[in-house]
Amino acid sequence: MSGTLRAMEFIVLPNPDDVADHAADLVAAQIAAHDHVVLGLAGGSTPLATYRALAARDLNWATTSAWMTDERWVPPTHPDSNQAMVQETLVTPTGVEFLRPDTTLPSPSDAADAFSHVLTSVCRAQSRSVTLLGLGTDGHTASLFPDTAALECSGARYVANFVPKLDAWRLTATVDLLSASDVVAFLVTGSSKAGIVAAIAAGADVPAARITAREHVVWLLDEDAAADLT
């Protein structure tokens, strides 16, 4: 089932494995069709299956540069590190170029500023940009949490964002940077996300709903996550 609500396309798939396969197919098609793809990668647990599905495909990874859309302010080898998860599931098996913030720098601001410069150098005009994102039950995506300072940051850049409810610093792409992608795909699974998915479809102003794209935003949902859509 697919449909368009608020200029968003929702594709409902039977289960999380089908969401992962559909997302991997989308990325694979973009890599096959373009000379250079800049691939934004989500952290968290939901994208794991997609990264494993991608790693199993025979793709020309030499034409792709991958980057972390957000990171926790922890050492790169920490169990909670997004880049450690991506390194294990996608980068090591494929050898894809992988760009990530340096969380060994003195402060979150230093790391965010440095990574902004890195992304500027790789996101050249002729590149095709595809970004995978997740969704929290509070409507956050990347590390753009409700009522945090990063939501007010303009410009396509990476910023440090303190999240009071987590009492922790995060590093994150801004709304403008994520929305500069040609294609954005949200990967959403599980019944715990059904309420926020329905709220976004109904017009809720949460961080994830603010993300647009130059061409296309697609929401890949399993049946549990889509249960409250009408």
pLDDT score for 228: 97
Tell which wins on pLDDT, 127 or 186. Answer: 186
Cβ atoms of residues 179 and 211 within 8 Å: yes
> Is pLDDT of 147 > 80?
yes
As a whole number, mean pLDDT of residues 189-214 equals 97
> Is pLDDT of 187 > 50?
yes
Cβ atoms of residues 142 and 41 within 8 Å: no
Cβ atoms of residues 186 and 133 within 8 Å: yes
Lowest mean per-residue pLDDT among 7-16, 121-130, 206-215: 121-130
pLDDT score for 120: 84
pTM: 0.95
As a whole number, mean pLDDT of residues 78-100 equals 96
Domains (range + CATH), the chain:
2-222 (3.40.50.1360)
Residues 6 or more apart from 223 whose CB is under 8 A from it?
12, 13, 14, 15
CB atoms inside a 10 Å sphere around CB 53: 21
Residues 3-39: pLDDT tens digits?
334 457 999 999 999 999 999 999 999 999 999 999 9
The band of 96, judged by pLDDT with boundaries at 50, 70 and 90, is: very high
As a whole number, mean pLDDT of residues 152-157 equals 89
pLDDT score for 7: 58
Mean pLDDT of the chain: 94
Residues 40-80: pLDDT tens digits?
999 988 999 999 999 999 999 999 999 999 999 999 999 99
Cβ atoms of residues 151 and 175 within 8 Å: yes
